């Protein structure tokens, strides 16, 4: 081995050691890490690209389109979409899914006003800027849920324009869930026929269908598109997501591309062909029962975390059936070690399926030592 190759190996080993250590102490962000995709490693030898529309054949055939379609249909069923009027694709993450939902809404209603709460993920404001859409930021309630009265006033002020609402199905900091049925009713009461509701379900979309009572967030409740992340509740070595939309809305923006022998209605065109394979594999291994068990585990650990923190005098709380526990920010050392997201003096722990009560006990011990 040459000196140069030795240096490369050393650098890779250093990175691997660093990643292993930082992954062990990881409670502040919604990423599952309890996965094993070793069976899929041979596929990394091939340039898999799900070019264009996953539901249309392409002249580029080194792909995983069949798996991608199955992933879309799995989530479409979970989200109670009309199976005769549904389309979607695997994105590179929740932000792209949000961009796609807004893109469809803009093409349907070019003069629409977009409404979203102040607790909405930062990608939404970035996306409406990219799409050159006008928007109104609505107040949030104390728990992070949208203020429906403020939304109604904002819509009333612009009621001569079509309405696009981005609903949060789990806000970034507090996992608050906006009620889509309430939003749909609000718009209906104002007789605004031209409206579109997109659900940003990046984290909670993976487990909301398995929570009782079921949150109001899906197609039956009134949404027109939903974006969910794949690397969050499911877990994946690379970021990914799924966007599900009504097919007749998607047909408004699809274009036939001769070069790839297919149509394309996606954002990126060339798309990672490995991500759908990883998500498909996880779905097949877990099944619906596996998703339900992961949900029950996360809720149990979240309840334990809330209880343990309150026992030591930390005022922790969470929204109903949330796996996110919010509390006043601990010391800098604790926040750094456990990689806690922090905003306005509060931090949170997100009890993903891989989080254990043993980890929580260690975290609580660190909080006690630092206080």
Listed residues 283, 302, 336: the one ending a domain:
283
Q: Does 265 share its domain with 335?
A: no
Q: Which domain holds residue 257?
A: 42-283
Number of folded domains that form the chain:
2
Q: What is the CATH number of the domain that holds 315?
A: 3.90.1150.10
Alpha-carbon distance 183 to 266, whole Å? Answer: 27
What pLDDT is stored for residue 265 in this prediction? Answer: 82
Q: Does 274 share its domain with 230?
A: yes
Q: Does 132 share its domain with 263?
A: yes
Alpha-carbon distance 347 to 329, whole Å? Answer: 5
Listed residues 283, 306, 324: the one ending a domain:
283
For residues 163 and 183, is the Cβ–Cβ distance under 8 A? no
Listed residues 256, 283, 310: the one ending a domain:
283
Q: Does 255 share its domain with 357?
A: no
Nearest to 135 by CA among 157, 110, 115, 105: 115
What pLDDT is stored for residue 244 in this prediction? Answer: 98
Nearest to 151 by CA among 100, 92, 195: 195
Q: Does 155 share its domain with 223?
A: yes
Q: Does 184 share its domain with 48?
A: yes
Mean pLDDT computed over every residue of the chain: 93
The pTM of this model reads 0.94
Q: Does 250 share its domain with 321?
A: no
Q: What is the CATH number of the domain that holds 218?
A: 3.40.640.10
Q: Does 207 share its domain with 278?
A: yes
Q: Does 265 share its domain with 325?
A: no
Q: Does 169 share its domain with 61?
A: yes
Asked if the model's pLDDT at residue 98 lies above 60, the reply is yes
> For the segment 11-25, what is each residue's pLDDT rounded down to a tens digit?
999 999 999 888 888
Q: Does 339 share its domain with 252?
A: no
Nearest to 207 by CA among 285, 296, 127: 296
> For the segment 112-156, what is each residue's pLDDT rounded down to a tens digit?
999 999 999 989 999 999 999 999 999 999 999 999 999 999 999
Q: Does 104 share its domain with 229?
A: yes
Omega within 30 of 0 (cis) for the link into 354 = no
Alpha-carbon distance 226 to 80, whole Å? Answer: 11
């Amino acid at each position: 081995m040459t000196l140069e190759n030795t240096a490369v190996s050393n650098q890779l080993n250093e990175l691997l050691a660093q990643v292993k250590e930082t992954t062990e102490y990881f409670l502040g962000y919604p990423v599952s890490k309890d996965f094993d995709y070793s069976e899929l490693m041979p596929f990394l030898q091939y340039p898999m690209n799900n070019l264009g529309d996953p539901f249309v054949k392409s002249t580029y055939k080194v792909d995983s389109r069949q798996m991608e379609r199955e992933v879309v249909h799995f989530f479409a069923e979970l989200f109670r979409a009309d199976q005769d009027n549904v389309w979607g694709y695997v994105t590179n993450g929740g932000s792209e899914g949000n961009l796609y939902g807004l893109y469809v809404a803009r093409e349907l209603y070019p003069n629409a006003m977009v409404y979203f709460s102040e607790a909405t993920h930062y990608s939404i404001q970035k996306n409406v800027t990219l799409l050159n859409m006008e928007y109104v930021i609505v107040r949030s309630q104390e728990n992070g849920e949208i203020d429906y009265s403020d939304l109604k006033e904002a819509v009333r002020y612009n009621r001569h324009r079509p309405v696009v609402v981005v609903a949060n199905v789990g806000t970034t900091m507090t996992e608050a869930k906006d009620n889509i049925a309430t939003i749909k009713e609000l718009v209906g009461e104002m007789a605004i026929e031209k409206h579109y509701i997109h659900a940003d379900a990046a984290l909670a979309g993976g487990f909301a269908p398995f929570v009782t009572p079921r949150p109001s967030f899906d197609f039956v409740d009134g949404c027109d598109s939903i974006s969910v992340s794949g690397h969050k509740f499911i877990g994946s070595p690379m970021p990914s997501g799924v966007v599900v939309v009504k097919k007749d809305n998607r047909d408004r923006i699809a274009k036939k591309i001769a070069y790839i022998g297919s149509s394309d209605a996606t954002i990126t065109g060339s798309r990672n062909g490995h991500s759908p394979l990883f998500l498909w594999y996880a779905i097949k291994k877990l099944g619906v029962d596996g998703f339900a068990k992961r949900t029950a585990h996360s809720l149990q650990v979240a309840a334990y975390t809330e209880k343990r923190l309150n026992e030591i005098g930390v005022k922790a709380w969470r929204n109903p059936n949330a796996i996110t526990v919010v509390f006043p920010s601990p010391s800098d050392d604790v926040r750094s070690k456990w990689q806690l997201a922090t905003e306005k003096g509060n931090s949170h722990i997100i009890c993903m399926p891989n989080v254990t009560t043993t980890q929580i006990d260690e975290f609580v011990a660190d909080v006690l030592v630092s206080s």
